[in-house]
Structure 1
Amino acid sequence: MELDWNQKNVLVIGAGISGFAAAKLARRFGASVTLSDAKTEEELTKLGDDFAKLRGLGIALAFGPQQESLLEGVDTVIVSPAVPVRIPLIQAAYKKGIRVMSEVELAYDIAESPICAVTGTNGKTTTTTLLGLLLETHYDKVGVGGNIGVPLSEEALRIGRGGCIAAEISSYQMEATEHFHPHVAAVLNVTPDHIVRHGSMEVYQAMKERLFREETEDDYLVLNYDDEKTRGMKARTVAQVCYFSRREELEEGVFVRGDVKNGLIVIRWQGQEYELCHTDELGIKGPHNVENALAAIAVAFFAGCEPTLMVPVLKSFRGVEHRIEYVTTIDGVPYYNDSKATNTDSAIKALETFDGHIILLAGGDDKMTDLTDFMKLVCERVDALVLIGRAAARFYGAAVDNGFPENQIYAAGYSMRKAVEIAHALAKEPAVVLLSPACASFDMYHDMAERGRDFKHLVHELEQQK
């Protein structure tokens, strides 16, 4: 879609990373831009935002209560992912016939290189990061952006022509997206998450499926065969579907031949078969990471990457920050940062990575999802449960209801420092200390990354005291 924003009026709603990027790009394209956020400037400044550069570019700023008058003369509204489209200002824009778009859609509009997009409840960041490295085996210019912390529009502009872009896409980013069209799309899994934001599991899944809605028969859709919800998505696309599976040897797709612990990764497509490496040679560990690797391999393959050149990358890639990230070992006890586990399904995968004797730090901003399966695994593998944040009381009740001993549950309030100190006092070999909250972070932190960094800082403080 050709952009002609010269002398147009653009309203950007939401002063997050994506909102900053969209405002600057719209201004660069010649638009008159206003950036609005429901928070006050003082509140946003406390979170670390700096608006001096935006003012220097001539971008108007409007903070606090968002009146419908903000829409006067506006041609386009760009919505940050953190802002739900149900808010009155955006609904008023729809009623007035004003184009409402996401920063992700802006990225697609300006992209001159193909986009490979990854979504799913869990595994997005690991898969997208690995995909970016795999794409580098074929392309001189590779961008990695989206929900991964780098605005996708900035990456699209930076790469220009002749490259390829790996995009991590969340359900939030798809709410205000209509025409996003990746050449290769992947849906890793769909489990209950963000129900408070979307209202129902059905709407949440529909947001995920928007990722491939615009694809044609010339495009590719990579789906997890082992996940019932994603497997069924084949019926709702015209794109060429490639399944991946760690459990089944597929007639066509990317799969593990043999046991998932040491089996051979194989691409089988259109009568050709390519053998890559064994699963125990992957640099990332755990069954869930086998799935992430299979998905990244499939997307890279359809983006033009040579299978044999992928193998060194698969063996050397060690994962991403905040996802079962090893921090250090104190008195024989390893500490792991899994702050990226913002839902129970992700936390379950972390618990499954270890054999047991886990000192688990959990809790935070409660997503109100069912805790039964999570707590059953807690009962099997966790020696002590340290609870933090707003979700602590509900987590306590669910743990006890599922049979976890009350005397092995510890309350740390809203203090990560206290949680780490409790875990350290309890941890003796062969224990593992694991931060895997199964919750969002917004009751205590700006985001899950800040939570993870705080945990690591506190652990290293303990280490220095030895």
Structure 2
Amino acid sequence: MRGNDGMLPEEFDLLVLGLGKTGLAVAEWAADHMGGRVRSACLYGGAKAAPSDRTRALEERGVRCVLGTEEVEGAFDVCVASPGISEFSDFFASARAHASEIMGEPEFAYRLSPDRWIAVTGTNGKTTTTSLVDHILNASGMPSHAVGNIGSVPTAAVDAREPGSWFSAELSSYQLACSSLLHPRVSVLLNITPDHLAWHRSLEAYAAAKRRIFARQEPGDLVIVCVEDAGSAAALDEARATGAAVCELSHEDTFADCAAFVEDGVLTCRLRGAEMELVRTDELCIAGAHNELNALAAAAAALWVGAPLSAVRRALTTFQPLEHRIEPVAVVDGVRYVNDSKATNTDAVEKALTAFPSEPVVLLLGGSDKGTPLEAFAERVAASTVRTVICFGDARARLLAALEGPAGASGVELMEAADLAAAVSTAHGCARPGDVVLLSPACASFDEFSGFEERGRRFKELVADLAARG
């Protein structure tokens, strides 16, 4: 176990911000420890929060629930803020004024259980990579729990965590922004491209939050940085300054002492002076150049902490695509339908298109507009295997306008649909046998749906309806 300097007091008064999954999980942990580690606990739900069965149950267990306001009162030793609450918000500022220390939930969980963490972040790819780390470790006989932005809220998993087990943690920029002592044994920085700027206020603040993942690392630890991505490559010097080993992740061998790359179609890692061939890229069940990098990062992380090479090889070939991430749905009338609803930004769509290097693609773009610049994206879509783009939802007019010039120059057909259902119907009408209909929207989903998960499941329902009719 690492030292306890700066960890939580033996007893403390706890403030929790937010009534979502994270806030409720921390409040329920507090209820379990009331009268012991926790002297008192107060959950502030926010201005729009209303009582529920869970808040009433928490009240019965001694947690005070304050709903309908963001003006915090009282004095607290520790405040845990849910990731949806921006550090620039008035709610966050009010809490900071009434707590000795404020932090994100993963930081809180780390201080409760600070040993054996592997942490993954990036604008795109972090769920797949974290799931792969978890899959490889468990397949290697090294117990692991997927936590953070994926799986369990870390705090909820702390008490049941068995000795010697690992936390494979997917951490968002929101969660990292308020971390200070978080110290993973291995960290992974996949990429940094513009996203969540409304929360962070600037790309610089967003990137700084991502880089906090390795800020506390030291000699003996490993930082994995994708050097193909300009945003993450810019963090190399800062990562090296920690004294940790830095593994350069890329499709090409950078000839660094520590590297993960593809050589002659084989995933390869060079760690601690030993070069190891893993598996051929065509043995992976997950498609796309970006998933080759995700697999390399996960394998390097697992190998660093002691996973046997033979187990890593087996696990890489058995890992299946995750829901909403280049997920095969069905073949209807000779056309493959693929659900990539998680692609809520342009960078994710560009990565998804690498999974189809030779197949004509009917691309479904649209949803609620994030206001992302589209000029470079439009050029890359026009230069890909995309044959037809169907723009739908609230963002369709801006997408069509951006694509019009590059599409006209390259012969890409542009079509328009009011919503997702109309887009699927249009795709069914224009797709030919051998085509791929790819839902990879480059937009948020809130014009029609509660989130990308609901959007992806609706897409699958629509495709199932097509198959049933066919």
TM-score of the aligned structures, taking structure 1 as reference length: 0.90
Distance verdict in 2 for CA 1:426–1:62, change over 3 Å = farther
> Pairwise mapping of residues 221-236 of structure 1 onto structure 2 (< 5 A)?
221-236=223-238
Out of 391, 404, 407, the residue aligned to residue 395 of structure 2 is: 391
* Structure 1 residue 356, shift from structure 2 partner: 4.6
Q: For residue 240 of structure 1, what is the aligned residue in structure 2?
A: 245
Distance 1:207 1:186 in 2: 14
Alignment size in residue pairs: 455
Distance 2:237 2:75 in 1: 42
Q: For residue 377 of structure 2, what is the aligned residue in structure 1?
A: 374
Q: 8 Å contact 1:117–1:168 — kept in the other structure?
A: yes
Q: Which segments of 5 or more consecutive residues in structure 1 lack a partner in the other structure?
A: none
Deviations 1:70-92 (A, max 9, x none): 23233322111111111112113
* Structure 1 residue 217, shift from structure 2 partner: 1.8
* Structure 1 residue 430, shift from structure 2 partner: 2.5
Q: For residue 165 of structure 2, what is the aligned residue in structure 1?
A: 163
Distance verdict in 2 for CA 1:249–1:9, change over 3 Å = closer
Letter in 1 for 2:48: T
Distance 1:369 1:35 in 2: 35
Distance 1:257 1:439 in 2: 31
* Structure 1 residue 397, shift from structure 2 partner: 1.5
Give secondary structure in 1 for the equivalent of 2:354: helix
Distance 2:340 2:458 in 1: 12
Q: 8 Å contact 1:112–1:161 — kept in the other structure?
A: no
Q: 8 Å contact 2:407–2:413 — kept in the other structure?
A: no
Distance verdict in 2 for CA 1:87–1:112, change over 3 Å = closer
Q: For residue 62 of structure 1, what is the aligned residue in structure 2?
A: 66
Q: 8 Å contact 1:244–1:298 — kept in the other structure?
A: no
Distance 1:97 1:58 in 2: 20
Distance verdict in 2 for CA 1:34–1:292, change over 3 Å = same
* Structure 1 residue 121, shift from structure 2 partner: 1.2
Letter in 2 for 1:241: V
Distance verdict in 2 for CA 1:399–1:250, change over 3 Å = same
Out of 185, 191, 194, the residue aligned to residue 192 of structure 1 is: 194
Q: 8 Å contact 1:362–1:388 — kept in the other structure?
A: yes
Q: For residue 33 of structure 1, what is the aligned residue in structure 2?
A: 41
Letter in 2 for 1:392: R
Q: 8 Å contact 2:260–2:300 — kept in the other structure?
A: no
Q: 8 Å contact 1:337–1:455 — kept in the other structure?
A: yes
* Structure 1 residue 225, shift from structure 2 partner: 2.6
Q: 8 Å contact 1:113–1:156 — kept in the other structure?
A: no
* Structure 1 residue 435, shift from structure 2 partner: 0.7
* Structure 1 residue 296, shift from structure 2 partner: 0.5
TM-score of the aligned structures, taking structure 2 as reference length: 0.89
Q: 8 Å contact 2:388–2:413 — kept in the other structure?
A: yes
Q: Which segments of 5 or more consecutive residues in structure 2 lack a partner in the other structure?
A: none
Letter in 2 for 1:325: E
Q: For residue 298 of structure 2, what is the aligned residue in structure 1?
A: 296
Q: 8 Å contact 2:250–2:262 — kept in the other structure?
A: no
Distance 2:30 2:43 in 1: 11
Q: For residue 438 of structure 1, what is the aligned residue in structure 2?
A: 442
* Residues 1:343 and 2:345 aligned together: yes
Give secondary structure in 2 for the equivalent of 1:75: strand
Distance verdict in 2 for CA 1:51–1:429, change over 3 Å = farther
> Pairwise mapping of residues 79-94 of structure 1 onto structure 2 (< 5 A)?
79-94=81-96
Aligned-residue CA RMSD in angstroms? 2.5
Q: For residue 272 of structure 2, what is the aligned residue in structure 1?
A: 270
Give secondary structure in 2 for the equivalent of 1:285: coil
Q: 8 Å contact 1:35–1:59 — kept in the other structure?
A: yes
Deviations 1:29-54 (A, max 9, x none): 22333333336346x98xxx965544
Q: For residue 416 of structure 1, what is the aligned residue in structure 2?
A: 420
Moved more, 125-134 or 347-356: 347-356
Q: 8 Å contact 2:16–2:81 — kept in the other structure?
A: yes
Out of 324, 327, 352, the residue aligned to residue 326 of structure 2 is: 324
Distance verdict in 2 for CA 1:95–1:63, change over 3 Å = closer
Letter in 2 for 1:35: L
Letter in 2 for 1:361: L
Distance verdict in 2 for CA 1:365–1:61, change over 3 Å = farther
Distance 1:408 1:65 in 2: 50
Distance 2:32 2:254 in 1: 50
Q: For residue 75 of structure 2, what is the aligned residue in structure 1?
A: 73
Distance 1:443 1:77 in 2: 33
Moved more, 176-185 or 236-245: 236-245
> Pairwise mapping of residues 357-368 of structure 1 onto structure 2 (< 5 A)?
357-368=360-371
> Pairwise mapping of residues 173-212 of structure 1 onto structure 2 (< 5 A)?
173-212=175-214
Letter in 1 for 2:373: D
Distance 2:187 2:162 in 1: 20
